[in-house]
Structure 1
Amino acid sequence: MSSPTLKPTADVSKDGDDFRGPRNLSISAGTSRSITSSPLSPQPSEILSIRRRQRLKWQRYSAGACALVSCLSAGSILLYSLYTPLFQRHLHYSQMQINAIAIAAELGMYLLVPIFGWICDNYGPDRLSIVSVFLFVPGYLSAAYCYNNKLSYMAMFFSFLLIGSGTVSMYLTGITTCAKNFTKKRGLALAVPISAFGLSPLWMSQVANYAFLRDSDDESGTKELDISSIYTFFAIYLFVIGIIGSFFLRIYPDPDLDEVILRGETAPLLTPSPAAADHIEYGSAVLSNDPNDIPPAVKRRLLNDDTRNFLSDPTMWWFAAGVFLTAGPGESFINNMGALIKTIQPVSRSLGSPTGDETATHVGIIAVTSTVARLLSGFLSDYLGPPVEPAPVRDEQENKRFRVSRIMLIIIFTAFMQAAYLILASGYIQLHPQQFYIISSLIGIGYGAVFTLSPTIVSVVWGVENLATNWGIIAMLPAGGASVFGFLFAAIYDSEATRQNSGDHGLGEGSCFGLHCYQKSFAGMAASCMIAIVLWTWGWRGRGGWIARGVSV
């Protein structure tokens, strides 16, 4: 179904070098938007002067570079595992209290995403960058104060709630800036900042281990992390990054696109709401190539309509359920990988030596493989996925290129995670624990790709204009999924540990060893991935799905 014909009511002149002649336009809601303009319609080179085109290009790439810096700086929360031994040793927090602090960070990261997404879409990523400053700085300073004064875990709980909220707000500024400034390559525009976020703990951990060490309090001559100094450093560093982002993280028009083509790219592919007809009277303000030309009241009305359409679309719920069923097991595996590695080792080895170094190795494997998968999936999304730009921009050779649906790509990468869960459930790794790198690599590949392709698909199907809000709604689900599948793993593990330790031959301390500690939980995770694949396929090819509506994903 095509959107109503949009007709500018008058000629508009801007900066003395812009001319927008009268047009009669039709922009369809499908994948090939037809654009019919009058013979006198100016070409893009006539709309923008060479000087202004160069200035816009510089501004867009400056915003993109700043977005990458923000994402590279936003992942400080991922260093949490470095702090937990010192929380136990110096603050005497129990394992349950340490997990409660971690949950506080996850709640801040996931549950507030829709709010921050709405701020980012309505007021711009530069404003959200300022919000991140007001979350990170008090969060880290209060965490340093709690550590120095050995306050209760509830005080640290609220500190990490702020830190988690600051993490997702700075992260959203980066991906939104890239997605809205580089709409022609949406896969890479999302994959690069997401990959930068995944790499942030690598450089941060190196800085922490080399620049923030002090002598241990036990007079053993060993070194330990200076937690208070690390938190103070992050408060100052993230304050600077947030302020820089408030100047550079802005959305600029594409100087290589005609104003109407740009509006076609940022509009959702699905049929717009009936209220869209009410927007005709705003004429060139709605069609403007420059987002700043759209009156705030009109923009908020458009975004609110898009959000209502997004929430009322049944295919969104099928897609969101699939994200829940794949992200949840991935989060659960990463959170419980240390216990799992200890479980698959021979009992004598697990009791005789710590597995921390081995766990750190596999954390690194997941970080590297997930980063590679994010970049690869973004590249494949752009170069193999159906094009999202308007039809007149594509040449005949472009139309003949071999294509693979983005849904097929996310299904293929989900199959990597499913294979890892099936291998764990089969008991093969229990017999060959030295090959655990296969599991960490497969899950890293699948996990990284799913978190890149999911927002890309959201931007393709429902448009990039309201991306931060729409993806923010779906991004709440990993918190729930991690809780559900984490509880599944813990319940089965604790039940088997209780059975193993019930007699005199028990190993004590709630330790569990063997296949029965985790087999059922990973069989359930494999089944959840299969259900997710079915739900995505139904939303794509089922009755009332995207193909039936003419949306090529």
Structure 2
Amino acid sequence: MAARPASHLAPRPIITLLVSLLVTLASGTNYVFSAYAPQLAARLHISHTQLNAIALAGNVGVYFSSPLWGITADKLGPKLNLFPSFCFLLAGYSGIWIIYDNGISAFETSASTSVILLLVFFTLMTGVGGSGGYMTALNVTARSFPDSLRGSALGLVVSGFGLSAFLFSFIAQHAFPGQTSYLLLTLALGTALPLLIGVFVIQPIPLLVPSTHESVAVEADDIDSRTPLISSISQNVIAESSVASESSSSRGSNQIGKKSMPEDSALLKHFHGRKLFASVDFWILFCNFSLVSGVGLMYINNVGSIAQVLYIHEHPSNYNQIEISKWQATQVSTISTVSFSGRIFIGILSDLVKARWNIPRSYLLVLVPIFALASQITLASYIIVVSGLWISSALLGLGYGMLFSLSTAIVTEWFGLAHFSETLGFLTLSPLIGGNVFSIAFGRNLDKHSNAEIPTNVSLNVCLDGRSCYVDTLYLTITGCMVAVFLSLWAAWRDRIRRAEWHERQFSG
């Protein structure tokens, strides 16, 4: 089948990529929770354990709904996902905003059970809405770019999910510092409207497959007159198609180490749906994802409380809510921007090592838990003042961002594109386990160390003992990261064996 003229094709992947990025920027706001969580707890007089339960509701919404969004995106396309996601985000953040503004009455010592349940429900809605936008953007991006560019394209779109928290915490820190109500209103409007734009714009772009070498030459000549970015994308599409068409004729002359697997031969593509749960490789990826993302969610949900604890320990008689809000926003911004950078970096690196040296993307997976482990060790043994907290936040953000970008690319490499969003949806159920275990453990540990006598104007249930307030939980997260290092090495080893067997079959046949 002859390709359509490049003049009609080249701009469309760029538009799809940019709008998908806009959608993920609006979809990752669960990670901004720490920017307003301590203020929410102070206004409603709720404990750290209750606060973690509310935060986990958002994570449950994100990850539990992922398989459903993925199946819908695979079978019915993006529009059927984006509009309900717009509604969920608008309703969820609006509900939290209204509850925060109303507060509790002067006759109540803490928020009622019904208010807590409403907060859980509305936070769950924000998670479900964010998941719908995220899964849809990834589905469209994965189907619109060839394997040689897919890691970079997915890395860019996934990075928007990480950068989302920075965007909104930056607004909170500079536009209205200490005014949580305005932040929640901004979240309600700022997350919903981009998804509404996506409803009318986002659509997958069929990959360009030239039928002859002449068509390749025509496309390349036409593309050269366009912008460098469009030229790079289109030329890579053409080049990959050309290489694929010649691979069968040159099979005997290539060495095993330099022969790339064609995109349509994902070794585990027959595993999908129920069969996916019979795959050892899926479970290795699932457990690794659960551990690292669980540590990340625990930290992201509680870094605001950690900043508060360290600040109060350092300034017991000079409590300043606006100053604490700035430190909290700084941690969210640090995690978000470094996560953004990590997602793009690992996407580009994974494309580079695969295209230039034919190294599987799974070999890079061990980097993810190493950075998460470094973050937890640093937090447990080194950081005693709030001004040093950014180090742990940066290390955590790097590992957490790389996890999502690299795991997404590995899913396409191992399981193929036909059921990509469905497989990714099942994989992203895993943070529910790790996130619940680590976050609840952190909340209970912090409540256990809370002091009865607290400074004036400090929210209830604040621990005054600094790092000792939460260090016991970090021993648990450090152990989880060490297990994840082992699982990452195991995944890479199994992938190496599979590929060696594939190459042997190709040359022996």
Deviation at 1:266, TM superposition (A): 5.7
Q: Is 1:104 aligned to residue 73 of structure 2?
A: no
Q: Structure 1 counterpart of 2:23, which letter?
A: S
The aligned residue for residue 282 of structure 1 is: none
Distance (Å, rounded) in 2 between the aligned partners of 1:229 and 1:97:
23
CA displacement 1:122-148 (0-9 Å, x = unmatched)? 111232112313423443455555556
Going from structure 1 to structure 2, the CA distance change for 1:149 and 1:518 (only over 3 Å counts) comes to closer
**TM-superposed deviation, 1:379:** 0.9
1:370 pairs with 2:323: no
Deviations 1:280-324 (A, max 9, x none): xxxxxxxxxxxxxxxxxxxxxxxxx73344322111101211111
Residue 257 to residue 531, structure 1, CA distance change in 2 (3 Å): farther
Aligned equivalent of 2:304: 338
Alpha-carbon offset, residue 183 of structure 1: 2.5
Deviation at 1:475? 0.8
The corresponding residue for 2:157 is 193
Amino acid in the other structure paired with 2:155: A
How big is each residue's C-alpha offset from its partner over 1:455-475, in whole Å with a ceiling of 9 and x where there is no partner? 111111111232211111111
Quote the residue 1:480 is aligned against.
Answer: 433
Q: 2:179 & 2:444 partners in 1: Cα distance? A: 37
Change (3 A) 1:143 1:353: closer
> Which residue of structure 1 aligns with residue 477 of structure 2?
525
Cα 1:548/1:347, change in 2 over 3 Å? same
Alignment partners' CA distance in 2, 1:509 and 1:246: 44
Amino acid aligned to 1:524:
L
| Correspondence 1:306 to 2:272 | yes
Matched, 1:204 2:168: yes
Is 1:154 the counterpart of 2:143 in the alignment? no
Q: Aligned residue for 1:323?
A: 289
Q: Tell whether the 8 Å contact from 2:25 to 2:161 is kept in structure 1 after alignment.
A: yes
- Aligned pair partner of 1:233 in 178, 185, 189: 189
1:163 equivalenced with 2:126 (yes/no): yes
Bigger drift between 87-96 and 405-414 goes to: 87-96
Residues 56 and 254 in structure 1, CA contact (< 8 A), matched pair in contact too: no
Q: Equivalents in 2 of 1:271, 1:85: separation in Å? A: 45
Shift of 1:268: 5.3
Q: Deviations over 1:162-195 (max 9, x none)?
A: 2211111011111221111012312111110111
Q: Calculate the TM-score normalised by the size of structure 1.
A: 0.69
Contact 1:493-1:518 within 8 A present in 2 as well: yes
- Aligned-partner Cα distance in 2 for 1:141–1:488: 29
Q: Which has the larger radius of gyration?
A: 1
1:258-297 matched pairs, under 5 angstroms: 267=264, 269-270=266-267, 273=270
RMSD: 3.6
Counterpart-to-counterpart distance in 2, 1:543 and 1:372: 27
Q: 2:370 aligns with which of 406, 410, 415?
A: 415
1:79-102: CA deviations, max 9, x gaps? Answer: 444544664576666655544433
Query: Please, which runs of 5 or more residues in structure 1 have no aligned partner?
Result: 1-17, 19-46, 214-221, 274-304, 388-400, 503-507
- Please say if residues 538 and 545 of structure 1, whose CA atoms lie closer than 8 Å, have aligned partners that are also in contact: no
Contact 1:315 1:545 in 2 (8 A): no
Contact 1:144–1:231 (8 Å) recurs in 2: no
Residue aligned with 1:454, SS: helix
Cα distance change of structure 1 residues 68 and 550 upon mapping to structure 2, 3 Å threshold: same
- Provide the rounded CA distance (Å) in 1 between the counterparts of 2:503 and 2:298: 33
Percent of residue pairs bearing the same amino acid type: 25
**Alpha-carbon distance in structure 1 between the residues aligned to 2:309 and 2:101:** 35
* Aligned partners of 2:137 and 2:157 also within 8 Å: yes
Q: Once the 2 structures are TM-superposed, how far is the Cα of residue 439 of structure 1 from its aligned partner?
A: 1.9
- SS of equivalent residue, structure 2 residue 482: helix
Number of aligned residue pairs: 439
Residue type of the alignment partner of 1:456? A
Deviation at 1:536, TM superposition (A): 2.5
Aligned AA for 1:163?
A: T
Match of 2:350 in 1: 381
Mean alpha-carbon deviation: is it higher for 508-517 or for 480-489? 508-517
Paired residue for 1:444? Answer: 397
SS at match of 1:422: helix
Report the CA distance between 1:212 and its aligned residue.
7.5
Tell me the TM-score normalized by structure 2: 0.75
Q: 1:362 to 1:162 in 2, by over 3 A?
A: closer
Aligned partners of 1:137 and 1:347: how far apart in 2?
A: 38
Question: Is 1:55 aligned to residue 16 of structure 2?
Answer: no
Counterpart residue type for residue 361 of structure 2:
R
Q: Which runs of 5+ in 2 are unaligned?
A: 104-113, 212-240, 246-260, 454-459, 505-509
- Structure 1 distance, partners of 2:495, 2:146, is 29
**Superposed CA offset, 1:18-72 (max 9, x none):** 5xxxxxxxxxxxxxxxxxxxxxxxxxxxx1242xx43233333322222122112
Question: Contact 1:114–1:468 (CA<8 Å) still a contact in 2?
Answer: yes
Q: Distance in 2 between matches of 1:245 and 1:137?
A: 15
Greater percentage in helix = 2
Does 2:375 align with 1:406? no
Aligned partners of 1:344 and 1:429 also within 8 Å: no
CA contact (8 A) 1:181 1:251 kept: yes
If asked which structure has higher relative contact order (CA below 8 Å, sep 6+), I would say: 2
Which amino acid is 2:141 matched to? C
1:550 maps to which of 469, 481, 502: 502
Q: Distance in 2 between matches of 1:530 and 1:103?
A: 24
> What's the CA shift for 1:114?
0.7
After TM superposition, the structure 1 = structure 2 runs for residues 86-101 of structure 1, keeping only pairs within 5 Å, are 87=40, 97-101=50-54
Distance 1:100 1:489 in 2: 11
CA contact (8 A) 2:49 2:443 kept: no
Alignment partner of 1:249 is 2:202: yes
Residue 383 of structure 1 aligns with an amino acid whose one-letter code is L
